[in-house]
Chain A
Amino acid sequence: MTLPDGVERRSIAGETGLATRGQPVYGEPTEDGWRRWNPNRSKLGAMLETGMQTGLSGGETVLYLGAASGTTVSHVADFAGPTYAVEFAPRPMRDLLTVATDRSRLFPLLNDAREPTAYAHVVEPVDVIVQDVATRGQARVALENRRFLDDGRLLLAIKARSEDVTRQPENVFDDVLEELREGYEVLETASLEPYHDDHLGVVARPD
């Protein structure tokens, strides 16, 4: 498994796991300036942990959709370049703002990821889109934001229960992937278990 520069497996507090270098954010264990990246709390962390080929090498420009409180975004901003973080709910945004204070290349945007025209005047074309939104229409969000990718990668975590709790996750994943193929070539998919139930990790590139 290749990890991006700036992400390492390190032994922290007696346990070995993913870590990045930066200011601690959510009470994670730290050692020598490195802080644990807990895959149970981060879909992207789980994608790296399960060995998916994310294509990340470090230093990329990133558009992060569904930044929430900034748990994952904080790690991304530690190893990536300029990082645009879109989150629509005010309360998690407050936590995200705290994360952004210590990270000068993290740009928080209180916007709806389904309406990219409201932030396309701020966000430049990026190398990577990371998407973790808990709404229905996750494929639609990815397609709407395809305009920010020339080539590069979409790293998507599909949450089956956000689309439809009553159906089998596998069927939901199939539908989302089929819709996603309208604008992307899917390179790899993998279940994010045991870190996240009913989630599918997807690596795709614009088609």
Chain B
Amino acid sequence: MTTHDADPGWFAGLDPEDLDSGVDAIRDGSATEPREWPQEAVEDGAIGDKSTYYDWLHEATVAASERAVAERERASDQQLIHAIRALDDCERVTNELTERVAEWAGTHDCDATVDTEYVQELAEREPEDALESHIVTFASRVAALDDQATELRAFIERWTPDVAPNLSALAGSELAARLIALAGGLGDLAKKPSGTVQVLGAEDALFAHLRGGATSPKHGVIYLHEAVRGTSPEHRGSAARALAGKLSIAARVDHYSGERKPELDDELAERIERIRARDES
């Protein structure tokens, strides 16, 4: 029952000696339905017999998986840290320069406002004289920097789940990347007690507290999480503690096993729900 009109097998048209093309075919190919591939490969003359086919398949699948693993693991925590710092720098400088653009453009255009939308719009303008052309060129540089920040954000969004699947499922890509950056790496984050994770990003407040006088901070950068922000101020400390606990566990699973554990999502949701229910009782 060899119907050759449907999707071909991975081996179609390949030379068993050419491992690279076999690897590409395995990684990039697809088919809606499986067929008796070993038999077809022999019948098509792609390979001598079934046993040799399996040897070929073994070599090609191992090589394909090795390469795919290497590619996905290049999405390392250190790359993310660079990306998140580059994002922060881009945004900080964009804000600063946006003010400068608005101030300068204001001498020329009475509708000038301090926001990136205005800068983007100004950058598109056709300058009317030499002076305006300086302002427009300057605005276009700032606009490009703003675009760069958007691209970095998309990069972080896409890569964090590969680096830390559970942490980014619980925290969202950006917060996960920020926690990793604040700790210095996924491994460092995994080794921190959850009380430290709770106040990562609030070091100033923490040391003011430790020196005496100030109250202890309830949360650091995890304030960005809806579980903390969306909880009434009275219970926010509990929510932050619960969230930090679950995020620590997620970071440890990501660092030591790398396997996705969807039950962590539900455990967090359940904890937060219970904390918020205190408001009603």
Seen from chain A, the residues whose Cβ lies within 8 Å of a Cβ on chain B are 68, 82, 88-94, 96-97, 100-101, 104-110, 117-118, 120-125, 134-136, 147-148, 161-162, 164-166
Whether A135 touches B260, Cβ cut-off 8 Å, given contacts A100-B62, A123-B34, A124-B36, is: yes
- Which B residues from 43 to 63 make CB contacts under 8 A with A? 54-55, 57-58, 61-62
Q: Is B259 an interface residue (CB 8 A)?
A: yes
Q: B262, A135: Cβ atoms under 8 Å?
A: yes
Q: A161, B263: Cβ atoms under 8 Å?
A: yes
Whether A122 touches B61, Cβ cut-off 8 Å, given contacts A91-B259, A92-B257, A165-B263, is: yes
Q: A89, B61: Cβ atoms under 8 Å?
A: no
Q: A118, B62: Cβ atoms under 8 Å?
A: no
Q: Is B279 an interface residue (CB 8 A)?
A: no
Q: Is B26 an interface residue (CB 8 A)?
A: yes
Q: A90, B69: Cβ atoms under 8 Å?
A: yes
* Complex: A88 Cα to B165 Cα, angstroms: 11
* Complex: A117 Cα to B269 Cα, angstroms: 33
Residue from A97, A108, A121 having most chain B Cβ neighbours under 10 A? A121
Q: Is B65 an interface residue (CB 8 A)?
A: yes
CB distance from B200 to the nearest CB of A (A): 24
Q: Which residue of B lies closest to A167 (CB)?
A: B266
- Which B residues from 27 to 79 make CB contacts under 8 A with A? 29-38, 54-55, 57-58, 61-62, 64-66, 68-69, 72-73
Q: Which residue of A lies closest to B27 (CB)?
A: A110
Q: B54, A101: Cβ atoms under 8 Å?
A: no
Q: B259, A120: Cβ atoms under 8 Å?
A: no
Q: A110, B34: Cβ atoms under 8 Å?
A: no
Q: Is B17 an interface residue (CB 8 A)?
A: no
| Option from A106, A121, A164 in Cβ contact (under 8 Å) with B10 | A121
Q: Is B162 an interface residue (CB 8 A)?
A: yes
Whether A162 touches B34, Cβ cut-off 8 Å, given contacts A97-B62, A110-B68, is: no
Residue from A90, A91, A106, A125 having most chain B Cβ neighbours under 10 A? A90
* Complex: A98 Cα to B32 Cα, angstroms: 30
Q: B266, A166: Cβ atoms under 8 Å?
A: yes
Q: Is B16 an interface residue (CB 8 A)?
A: no
Q: A121, B260: Cβ atoms under 8 Å?
A: no
Q: Which residues does chain B contribute within 8 Å of A105, judged by CB atoms? A: 54, 58
Q: Which 8 A-B pairs have the closest CB atoms?
A: A91-B258, A121-B31, A165-B266, A120-B31, A161-B263, A107-B61, A121-B29, A110-B68
